[in-house]
Structure 1
């Protein structure tokens, strides 16, 4: 009997199809060759220095909106999209966020709720990386409770006029188009706001300690006038943006497993070569116990992601399944990253090694797309039948 592979201890990837393996390998090779050599510098500089070049690369790779069908999108299954997210976040959470916001949020909103004209105009260039999109839902005072948003859209003749502020928007300042959600007299509605629309601006958020290899912005809408053709016609109520968030959260389920795996792999390399007291520190009992704990978390995360992916492909994934995966896998990844940082000693706080970069990124991953507390309450409602959000 063969000894288990430390990098896939439970042989989770054994159950992948040939096509899924090919996608995994393609995204992994691209991420390690084209992105990994730059990500530490991007993190240190607090930005992606060439976001349009990165977008074009992702477009050529085919990962933007890859789970969507038509309009230049690949139409892969959910597991394949998850694998892509895993391999991207194994390099950096900010890069997976780039793809997730573009494909699972902005493109999904247009694909699912837009008119045919809107789909034809925006989805092909977004799929190809020729246009960058962002998703404006979160506000300075409206995070876990998006229904309390203050951004308003009022009718003025045949037009709409939008006013408000959105916060923590990935790619906002480089986006060619923003999908913005606003409260109207008829309820929450979504609007397509092209770059350069009068009254619309985006300001980069600086001094972040997490997701630094990502561009995060504030969106300001000051009496932005849009034609009714800019409204997403099928988006009615808060259910529309929340359904897009569920798609993005699904990517996080896989992405967190990738970050955890990267921390374990880096730690196995480091503890195997770091010699103290005459031998590699991987040979000490306390080190091996920590490595074992990391191994369990990584492989349980992989199993959770794959099972939820299979449920999704079978049309049986409830939004609470995704809450389960996001809550469990991010928490596990945070444990793995913390242990990895400690086992790297002083070297663990440098960008020469990836572990503290992952550890800091996961602080944002734990917060966005629903905090742990929100997902816990989602699971609590399923268990008890009693909503406890208010």
Structure 2
């Protein structure tokens, strides 16, 4: 496995890094205080092609593999996580379903505008009764002529307030359990589609999550994504596909925290020496660096496996679990290294600490990832018998 990037990816990495450091970081505190990403930043992101990371070139995207995407996600992760989530939710679960399972007509209709950032994507699976138990959906879809009528409520839907195109899971046959769930491409302007209450969150300011209310929502039959009854399988594929990318975003945040912590430990004087010379602080920095390097290696290995077309159900769950847990541990140590300043909202450390917490919950909790890993281990054992 050779993780050296080609000239194109190196060029893109430099551009994204420069943009993040010079533009996004300059407004990070503004995003936090106003709970809004400046439109100028969004427009510059479109010009850089960041909304087309997961979309093939023939539909206007960058057409890069998972290793390349992770290289860019790592750069994007090194700034305000609200901005990171806007991009990541769109290029990950917001578009991957159409890229991987859409028919040619659907791809031509939606992907070019999504690649340009003219249409933002979102993924609507979670409901009040269906979180980790994703098969317990109450949203229904009944076929009437050349359309389906959807009824139900989704919540915690990232990008809901700005999205134009939603991948929505609904029950088409309640007698079949998971095999009775179907995926739909739903546009925000369809009759009966409403964005409900915006959820107030602990972190991820600037990235808005909200309810989606479907009241006799009319969806054309040609907007079934994949085959009827394959929605649950589609959801698992969509979530698994993006897990290396999510880990890469966490990696970028971890590296940022380490850089800030090393700099502060060299500048902060206590007992007449920089605190980096105190063993307790030095050991925390060493532990942070070690875990970050382990996360980096594992992330790019899983990304490489995806590019090779290998089955990565177990590895994708592992990297999502490991990436989110490492991020939380690194963020905790960063607060400790910074001491009182790390707890003050005028500085970025406490922001990362709050933002890190959701990574152990969204797109599959840490506990669910452990269940997936254990089932895959069990299947492998049974296969050998």
Question: Structures share a fold, TM > 0.5?
Answer: yes
Which among 240, 245, 256 is matched to residue 239 of structure 2? Answer: 245
What do you get for the CA RMSD once the two structures are aligned? 2.1
Instruction: Give 1:99 shift.
Output: 1.9
Q: Tell me, yes or no, if structure 1 residue 338 matches structure 2 residue 338.
A: no
In 1: Cα distance, 2:279 partner to 2:257 partner: 19
Distance 1:239 1:362, change over 3 A: same
Contact 1:39/1:213 (CA < 8 Å) preserved in 2? Answer: no
Q: Tell me, yes or no, if structure 1 residue 191 matches structure 2 residue 178.
A: no
Instruction: Give 1:54 shift.
Output: 4.1
Instruction: Give 1:167 shift.
Output: 1.0
SS at match of 1:181: strand
SS at match of 2:50: coil
Q: Give structure 1 regions of 4+ aligned residues with deviation exceeding 6 angstroms.
A: none
Provide, for residues 275-332 of structure 1, a one-character-per-residue CA deviation record: whole Å limited to 9, x for no partner.
1222211111111111111111111111111111222222224121111111112111
Contact 1:133/1:171 (CA < 8 Å) preserved in 2? Answer: yes
In 1: Cα distance, 2:233 partner to 2:217 partner: 24
Which among 352, 368, 372 is matched to residue 366 of structure 2? Answer: 372
5 Å matches for 1:38-49?
38-49=27-38
5 Å matches for 1:304-323?
304-323=298-317
| Corresponding residue number in structure 1 for 2:259 | 265
SS at match of 1:31: helix
SS at match of 2:200: coil
SS at match of 1:211: coil
| Corresponding residue number in structure 1 for 2:5 | 16
Which among 60, 69, 82 is matched to residue 81 of structure 1? Answer: 69
Distance 1:345 1:319, change over 3 A: same
Contact 1:264/1:294 (CA < 8 Å) preserved in 2? Answer: yes
| Corresponding residue number in structure 2 for 1:220 | 213
Instruction: Give 1:374 shift.
Output: 0.8
Distance 1:214 1:386, change over 3 A: same
| Corresponding residue number in structure 1 for 2:100 | 112
Instruction: Give 1:386 shift.
Output: 8.8
Instruction: Give 1:233 shift.
Output: 4.2
User: What runs of 5+ residues in structure 1 fail to find an aligned partner?
Assistant: 1-11
Instruction: Give 1:149 shift.
Output: 0.9
Which among 194, 199, 211 is matched to residue 204 of structure 2? Answer: 211
SS at match of 2:167: strand
Q: Which region of structure 1 is more displaced relative to structure 2, 75-84 or 188-197?
A: 188-197
TM-score (norm 2): 0.91
In 1: Cα distance, 2:122 partner to 2:300 partner: 27
SS at match of 2:225: coil
Instruction: Give 1:344 shift.
Output: 0.9
Instruction: Give 1:13 shift.
Output: 10
Q: Tell me, yes or no, if structure 1 residue 37 matches structure 2 residue 26.
A: yes
Q: Which region of structure 1 is more displaced relative to structure 2, 168-177 or 231-240?
A: 231-240
TM-score (norm 1): 0.90
In 1: Cα distance, 2:345 partner to 2:18 partner: 21
| Corresponding residue number in structure 1 for 2:176 | none
5 Å matches for 1:65-80?
65-69=52-56, 70-80=58-68
| Corresponding residue number in structure 2 for 1:9 | none
Provide, for residues 112-142 of structure 1, a one-character-per-residue CA deviation record: whole Å limited to 9, x for no partner.
2223222222111110011112111111221
Distance 1:192 1:383, change over 3 A: closer
Count of residue pairs brought into register by the alignment: 374
